[in-house]
């Protein structure tokens, strides 16, 4: 089981090596992460983008692109299509976002001709290695689904659970976090949380334990849960936090990163291959962890 993000790198090294295809690769942090991933023998890489800009960025920042294939495609939208095509043709196993808008990249992924549409809703899964928490903490969905309804939350949970399983967490504990721990018909998130818990208990959502509604405090703190008299197999030990909206997940994730000094890795699930997606403001190390995460999921 992966206990820290740095363990992802060692895990990926032990697997059959995968190839990552990067759309609009002319980005310093992306190139730094990809170069390091190749140096560490985690992956092979195909960079799709403006060759002149890629080479300029690499030379001015001393980024070694030796043994990395570059496909010259200056047009941003076309670079996404070409990057996706590498997976469709079997030349790559998964995709990474470079200097391109998320929507533009995902339109290429979801193009029917690309053949990468999966059976699940696309959703974003972030993993945080926070110094103040006793294990990795998964957070979803802060990047894709804006205001998920119950059916969408089921898919979001399934996607996050699939990632947890790939990291060796056999039965992840899922906490649908809300502003209150009791079901309040006026607060839809608490109603959805209770339904998700019942669906899980009846075997409609498998491979995990779901209990909610839970406040953030009692989802991650046993002391807070005990103080409020909450008895739950998830309270104080959550693996996955299911946020009620994209804003809640986005704010919480950034708080973990900037206030809590947590490291992170991120990926979009639901297509036939993972799509490595982290914030443009994230570090090269975060992107390296995300590359390793994609390699592990692709295995």
Examine the domain organization and report whether 245 and 226 are in the same domain: yes
Based on the domain organization, do 159 and 91 belong to the same domain? Answer: no
277: pLDDT strictly greater than 80: yes
CATH number of the domain where residue 250 is located: 3.40.718.10
DSSP-derived letter for residue 17 is P
Q: Are residues 45 and 86 in the same domain?
A: yes
Is residue 77 included in any domain, yes or no? yes
185 and 82 within one domain? no
Residue percentage of the chain with pLDDT more than 90: 88
Decide if 54 is inside a domain.
yes
> 154 and 95, same structural domain?
no
pLDDT surpasses 90 at 56: yes
- Judge whether 59 lies within some domain: yes
pLDDT tens-digit map of 240-262: 999 999 999 999 999 999 999 99
Q: Which of 264, 268, 259 is nearest to 281 (CA)?
A: 264
Does residue 72 sit in the same domain as residue 148? no
Tell me, yes or no, whether 155 and 113 share the same domain.
no
Q: Are residues 130 and 254 located together in one domain of the fold? A: yes
168-187 burial, b at 16+ Cβ within 10 Å, e below that, comes to ebeebbbbbbbeebebeeeb
Range of the domain at 14: 5-118+271-298
**Is residue 134 domain-shared with residue 105, that is, in the same domain?**
no
Higher pLDDT, 117 or 174: 174
Q: Residue 63 sits in a domain of what CATH number?
A: 3.40.50.10950
Q: What are phi and psi of 263, to 5 degrees?
A: -90, 160
The number of folded domains in the chain is 2
6 pLDDT above the threshold of 80:
yes
Does the pLDDT value for residue 123 go beyond 80?
Answer: yes
Encode pLDDT of 72-112 as tens digits: 999 999 999 999 999 999 999 999 999 999 899 999 999 88
179-188 mean pLDDT: 94
**188 closest CA partner among 217, 226, 149:** 149
7-30 pLDDT per residue, tens = 999 999 999 999 999 999 999 999
pLDDT in tens, 130-146: 999 999 999 999 989 99
């Amino acid at each position: 089981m992966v206990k820290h993000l740095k363990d992802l790198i060692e895990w990926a090294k032990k697997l059959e090596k995968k190839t990552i295809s990067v759309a609009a690769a002319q980005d310093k942090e992306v190139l730094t992460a990809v170069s390091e991933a190749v140096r560490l023998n985690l992956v092979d890489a195909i960079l799709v983008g403006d060759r002149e800009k890629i080479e300029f960025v690499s030379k001015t920042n001393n980024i070694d692109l030796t043994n990395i294939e570059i496909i010259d495609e200056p047009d941003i939208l076309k670079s996404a299509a070409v990057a996706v095509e590498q997976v469709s043709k079997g030349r790559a196993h998964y995709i990474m976002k470079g200097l391109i808008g998320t929507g533009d990249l995902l339109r290429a992924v979801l193009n029917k001709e690309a053949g990468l549409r999966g059976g699940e809703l696309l959703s974003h899964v972030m993993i945080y290695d926070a110094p103040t928490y006793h294990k990795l903490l998964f957070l979803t969905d802060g990047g894709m689904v804006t205001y998920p309804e119950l059916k969408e939350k089921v898919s979001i949970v399934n996607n996050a659970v699939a990632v947890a399983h790939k990291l060796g967490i056999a039965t992840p504990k899922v906490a649908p976090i809300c502003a209150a721990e009791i079901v309040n018909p006026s607060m839809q998130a608490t109603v959805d949380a209770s339904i998700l818990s019942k669906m899980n208990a009846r075997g409609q959502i498998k491979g995990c334990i779901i209990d909610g509604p839970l406040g953030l405090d009692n989802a991650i703190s046993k002391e807070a849960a005990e103080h409020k008299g909450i008895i739950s197999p998830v309270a104080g030990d959550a693996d996955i936090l299911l946020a009620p909206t994209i804003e809640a997940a986005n704010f919480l994730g950034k708080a973990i990163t900037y206030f809590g000094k947590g490291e992170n890795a991120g990926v979009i699930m639901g297509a036939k291959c993972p799509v490595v997606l982290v914030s443009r403001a994230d570090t090269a190390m975060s992107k390296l962890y995300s590359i390793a995460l994609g390699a592990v999921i692709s295995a």
